[in-house]
């Protein structure tokens, strides 16, 4: 019985051995990423003698079962992923390239998995468990049935595992995944028009908070900074360092600057264009000019000391808006 997210991956010392030689073709094992029929992915080692390529279907020896999946990525030595390893886990090994018989067996298992999903849903309803069943997957040898589900909190599914194991006559694993992992499985398109980042390349979900959005000068509007998973957008994290670099040398809002048309207070700024909007003291007129054409004045008097405290992140928002933003971080 297991309770884990789909993105927690093991690592083997063999992965490090890939970088010891000078020629990748001389290595005995190659690290690759395998995707099963439910969309879940995991790392596996494949002997170079098999000459497998991306999009090839293969049979994988995973712990005590044989699995079936498609190779979606083969890692080069210089681009090995950062993955985690626990003492109980080891990297699965690709046993062989899939044959027509393997493919036929996998198709049969796919139909059995759909039936098992309906059976599990009935058991969940009978036990009145607060969980959303997402998918089911049979190993190629049918020795293991894996179910993924999402739930708002922890779920005691021990009785469900007993009933499923008895009803399906096989070993059963239940894995609870978060809303981000669920979205990565289901797929979709972001507001940018691209395929969701969690589907394309994100392997592990790093913590994201509202401060990152504020430091990128984004309006703290839940509809604008949240993705279709109803959590903060992943791009807030991996774009954060870039925005911090862009912010260097930029005056903060509220600072006083001199420009060609006089002195005023910074009321807005564009980090990407490296421009600031200044409201002139004399006329009240707001102008936009490049940061290189401004000079910060009254530095000690007007400079904001450090980053704002967490309590200031929601300044200017009503209680309902602040609550909605805090929920995005959970």
Chain segment 261-275, per-residue pLDDT in tens: 888 889 988 888 899
Q: 253-302 maps to which CATH number? A: 2.30.30
Q: Where in the chain is the domain with CATH 2.30.30?
A: 253-302
What does the block give as tokens for 63? 């712990």
Cβ partners under 8 Å of residue 301, min gap 6: none
Cβ partners under 8 Å of residue 36, min gap 6: 67, 68, 69, 137
Region for residue 59 given its phi and psi (left: phi exceeds 0; alpha: psi -120 to 50; beta: otherwise): beta
Rounded Cα distance, 78 and 85, in Å: 20
Among residues 178, 154, 270, the alpha carbon closest in space to that of 227 is found at 178
Q: What is the pLDDT of residue 249?
A: 84
Rounded Cα distance, 37 and 100, in Å: 17
Give the tens place of pLDDT for each residue, 77-109: 645 665 554 434 588 999 999 999 999 999 999
Q: Is the pLDDT of residue 199 over 70?
A: yes
Q: Which helix (H) or strand (E) holds 268?
A: strand 262-270
Residue 290 pairs in a beta bridge with 275
pTM score? 0.69
Residue with tokens 């083969």: 74
Q: Is the pLDDT of residue 300 over 90?
A: no
Q: What is the pLDDT of residue 223?
A: 84
Q: Is the pLDDT of residue 4 over 90?
A: no
Confidence of residue 187 (pLDDT cuts 50, 70, 90): confident
Poorest-pLDDT segment among 64-68, 115-119, 189-193: 189-193
Q: What is the pLDDT of residue 315?
A: 64
Rounded Cα distance, 101 and 60, in Å: 15
Q: Where in the chain is the domain with CATH 3.30.300.20?
A: 105-180
Q: Output the CA torsion sign for 300, 301, 304, 305.
A: positive
Q: What is the pLDDT of residue 330?
A: 57
Q: Is the pLDDT of residue 2 over 50?
A: no
Cβ partners under 8 Å of residue 9, min gap 6: 42, 43, 81, 83, 84, 203
CA 277 vs. chain centroid, Å, equals 35
Average pLDDT, the chain: 82
**DSSP symbol at 88:** T
Q: Are strands 275-280 and 286-290 parallel, antiparallel or unpaired?
A: antiparallel
Who wins on pLDDT, 4 or 107? 107
Region 283-297: mean pLDDT is 89
The arrangement of secondary structure in 105-180, i.e. its CATH architecture, is: 2-Layer Sandwich (3.30)
Taking each helix axis from N to C end, the angle separating 100-127 and 158-168, rounded to the nearest 10 degrees, works out to 130
Confidence of residue 200 (pLDDT cuts 50, 70, 90): confident
Percent of residues, the chain, with pLDDT higher than 70? 79
**DSSP symbol at 26:** G
Confidence of residue 6 (pLDDT cuts 50, 70, 90): very low
From residue 263, alpha-carbon distances to 104, 268, 278, 290 in Å are: 76, 15, 8, 15
From residue 14, alpha-carbon distances to 20, 28, 92, 215, 236 in Å are: 10, 9, 11, 41, 34
Q: Is the pLDDT of residue 34 over 50?
A: yes
């Amino acid at each position: 019985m297991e309770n884990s997210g789909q993105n927690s991956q093991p690592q083997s010392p063999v992965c490090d051995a890939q970088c010891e030689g000078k020629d990748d073709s001389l290595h005995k094992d190659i690290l690759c990423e395998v995707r099963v029929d439910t969309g879940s992915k995991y790392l596996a080692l494949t002997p170079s003698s098999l000459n497998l390529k991306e999009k090839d279907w293969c049979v994988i020896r995973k712990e005590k079962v044989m699995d079936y999946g498609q190779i979606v990525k083969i890692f080069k030595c210089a681009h090995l992923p950062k993955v985690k390893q626990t003492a109980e886990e080891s990297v699965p090994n690709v046993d062989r390239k899939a044959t027509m018989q393997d493919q036929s067996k996998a198709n049969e298992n796919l139909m059995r998995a759909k039936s098992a999903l309906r059976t599990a849903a009935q058991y969940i309803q009978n036990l009145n468990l607060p969980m959303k069943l997402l998918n089911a997957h049979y190993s190629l040898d049918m020795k293991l049935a894996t179910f993924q589900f999402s739930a708002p909190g922890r779920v005691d599914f021990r009785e469900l595992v007993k009933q499923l194991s008895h009803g399906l006559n096989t070993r059963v694993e239940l894995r609870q995944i978060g809303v981000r992992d669920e979205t990565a499985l289901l797929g979709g398109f972001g507001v940018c028009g691209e395929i969701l980042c969690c589907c394309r390349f994100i392997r592990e979900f790093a913590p994201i908070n509202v401060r990152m959005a504020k430091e990128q000068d984004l309006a703290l509007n839940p509809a604008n900074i949240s993705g279709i998973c109803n959590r903060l957008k992943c791009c807030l994290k991996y774009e954060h360092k870039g925005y911090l670099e862009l912010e260097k040398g930029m005056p903060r809002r509220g600072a006083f600057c001199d420009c060609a048309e006089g002195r005023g207070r910074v009321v807005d700024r564009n980090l990407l264009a490296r421009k600031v909007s200044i409201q002139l003291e004399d006329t009240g007129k707001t102008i936009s000019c490049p940061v290189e054409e401004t000079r910060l004045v009254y530095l000690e008097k007007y400079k904001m000391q450090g980053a704002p405290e967490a309590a200031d992140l929601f300044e200017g928002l009503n209680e309902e808006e602040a609550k909605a933003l805090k929920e995005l971080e959970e």
